[in-house]
Amino acid sequence: MMLTTIAEKLKEKNKVILVHGNADMDALGSAYAVSNCFPPATIYAPGGMDRVAKMVAEKLEINILDECDISNYELVVVVDTSSPEQFKPGFVDVPENRIVIDHHLPTGKWENMQFYCDNTKVSCCEIIKEMIDDCHIEMSKNVGLALLGGMLTDSGHFQFANPNMLRAFAEILENKNIGMDEAMNLTRSSMSMSERIAVMKTIERTKYDRVGDMIVAVATGSSFEASACRAITSSGADVVFVCTQRDDEFRLSARATQEMVRRGIHLGTILGIISEETDTDGGGHGGAAGLSGIGDAEAMLHMCQNRTMDEFRKIKVSMTPQDAADSEE
C-alpha cells in the first residue's frame, strides 16, 4: 500500500490510533504526530507505555487513553506494531479495515490489512515525518519534538542511526528551530531507585558464553529489561538477552552492539525465528528486538543463547585465519 494512499485515508475520518503494549517513544511519537497532523484522532495504549514514553507524554501534555471502545471510531490506525500479539492479552481484535504503519521486519501477521512497512527506516517516526512532508502539512514544534524523541530512542541515541535518519532528524531541528539540547533532554531522566535495584539484581544473575572475542550474556530479571540489557552491554557483553516471568507469560528484551550488527548479527531475525518455533511473538531490528508470549523464561533464554552462539560460529568461520587468532587473545 502506498504512503500517499494511506495519507488520503487518514484525512477527515474520526480515528483511533493504537500503540503496542508497553509502548515506547517511537510508538508515542508516531501516534502523536498522526493524531495532531491528521485530526480528529484519539491515541489508545491498551497495554500501557514504558517509563520514557509516559514521561514525554506528560512533558508534551499528550492525552493517552488506557480504556477505549474502538467501535466508536470510523477508522483504526496501528503504528509501530509488528503483529497483533503485541497488544495486551485479551485485547479485542480490531476491524479488518485497519491501517497499519510499521518499520520492523514484516511478520506476515498483518495480511489482508491496509499495511505499509518500510524496514529500511530506523524508526517509525521517520515514516510519519515522510507522510506529513508529502502532504505539505505544517507540524507543530511539539510534534517535531515527539518525532525526534522516537528517532533518538529507536536509534539507541544515534548508535544505530543511518544517513537517512540523521537527515530527517536534522531537517526537523532546522525547520522547527529546535535546539539539540531540547531534543536530548526530552527523553532524558534519572533512573528511579526501583529501576537501579532491579538492574543490579539482574546483573547478579547474568550468565555468559563466548566464541572468540564475541560474548553473549543472558539473565532473568524482575522488570526494566531494556535498562538491564544496556547495563550488561556496557559491562562488556556484545549480545544480551534479559527475560522476565509473569505467571505463564514471559517478556524478553535483546540488545547487540553496533559492531555485532556490522559483523552480521540481526536480533530481529533471531527472535523472529524463535517466535515461529515457539508460537510466540518476536522480532525487531538488528541491534534491538523483543519476544513475548506464553512460555518459560529460562527456556527462552537458553534458546536465544544457543541461536546466538550458532551465529557467532558462522561469523568466526568467515574470518581470516589472522582475525580468528586475534579474536582468541
Tell me how many domains the chain contains: 2
Nearest to 271 by CA among 126, 83, 29: 83
Residues 221 and 163 in one domain: no
Give the mean model confidence (pLDDT) for residues 167-188.
96
Domain boundary pick from 154, 186, 218: 186
pLDDT computed for residue 325 by the predictor: 56
**pLDDT, tens only, 112-165:** 778 999 999 999 999 999 999 999 999 999 999 999 999 999 998 998 899 999
Question: Quick check: 90 pLDDT over 90?
Answer: no
CA 219 to chain centre: 20
Residues 116 and 49 in one domain: yes
**pLDDT, tens only, 6-48:** 999 998 789 999 999 889 999 999 999 999 999 999 999 998 9
Nine-digit cell string for 218: 543472558
Output the 3-class SS for 10-64: HCCCCEEEECCCCECHHHHHHHHHHHHHCCCEEEECCCCECHHHHHHHHHCCCCE
pLDDT computed for residue 92 by the predictor: 55
The amino acid that residue 180 corresponds to is M
Residues 124 and 156 in one domain: yes
Residues 165 and 206 in one domain: no
Asked if the peptide bond before residue 40 counts as cis, ω within 30 degrees of 0, the response is yes
Nine-digit cell string for 209: 558464553
Domain boundary pick from 160, 186, 212: 186
Residues 26 and 149 in one domain: yes
Q: Quick one: CA torsion of 95, 96, 99, 100, rounded to 10 degrees? A: 100
pLDDT computed for residue 89 by the predictor: 59
Give the mean model confidence (pLDDT) for residues 216-245.
94
Instruction: Round to whole Å and give the CA distance between 50 and 53.
Output: 5
Residues 74 and 174 in one domain: yes
Question: Quick check: 324 pLDDT over 60?
Answer: no
Instruction: Round to whole Å and give the CA distance between 327 and 329.
Output: 6
Instruction: Round to whole Å and give the CA distance between 220 and 137.
Output: 46
pLDDT computed for residue 291 by the predictor: 92
Question: Quick check: 91 pLDDT over 70?
Answer: no
The residue whose grid cell reads 533464554 is 301
Spatial CB neighbours of 231, under 8 Å, sequence gap ≥ 6: 199, 202, 203
Residues 92 and 32 in one domain: yes
The residue whose grid cell reads 509473569 is 246
Residues 298 and 320 in one domain: yes
Instruction: Round to whole Å and give the CA distance between 17 and 45.
Output: 8
| DSSP category for residue 94 | P
pLDDT computed for residue 143 by the predictor: 98
Residues 144 and 221 in one domain: no
Spatial CB neighbours of 113, under 8 Å, sequence gap ≥ 6: 96, 98, 99, 100
pLDDT computed for residue 85 by the predictor: 78
Helix (H) or strand (E) holding 211: strand 207-211
Nine-digit cell string for 157: 541515541
- Strand 288-294 and strand 281-284: pairing? antiparallel
pLDDT computed for residue 86 by the predictor: 80
Instruction: Round to whole Å and give the CA distance between 289 and 208.
Output: 19
Domain boundary pick from 186, 204, 223: 186
Q: Contact 278/267 with Cβ under 8 angstroms?
A: no
Residues 34 and 171 in one domain: yes
Q: Which domain holds residue 283?
A: 195-328
Spatial CB neighbours of 198, under 8 Å, sequence gap ≥ 6: 221, 222, 223, 224, 227, 228
Report the chain's mean pLDDT, rounded to a whole number. Answer: 91
pLDDT computed for residue 308 by the predictor: 97
User: Could you give the angle at the alpha carbon of 289 between the alpha carbons of 283 and 293, nearest 5°?
Assistant: 60
**pLDDT, tens only, 182-200:** 999 999 877 889 989 999 9
Question: Quick check: 247 pLDDT over 70?
Answer: yes
Question: Quick check: 328 pLDDT over 80?
Answer: no
**pLDDT, tens only, 255-287:** 999 999 999 999 999 999 999 999 998 888 889
Beta bridge partners of 256: 239
pLDDT computed for residue 95 by the predictor: 66
Half-sphere exposure of 296 (CA within 13 A, CB side): 4
Residues 123 and 152 in one domain: yes
pLDDT computed for residue 34 by the predictor: 98
Residues 207 and 99 in one domain: no
pLDDT computed for residue 223 by the predictor: 85
What CATH number did the domain enclosing 297 receive? 3.10.310.40
Output the 3-class SS for 170-199: HHHHHHCCCCHHHHHHHCCCCCCHHHHHHH
**pLDDT, tens only, 103-116:** 988 888 777 778 99
What CATH number did the domain enclosing 122 receive? 3.90.1640.10
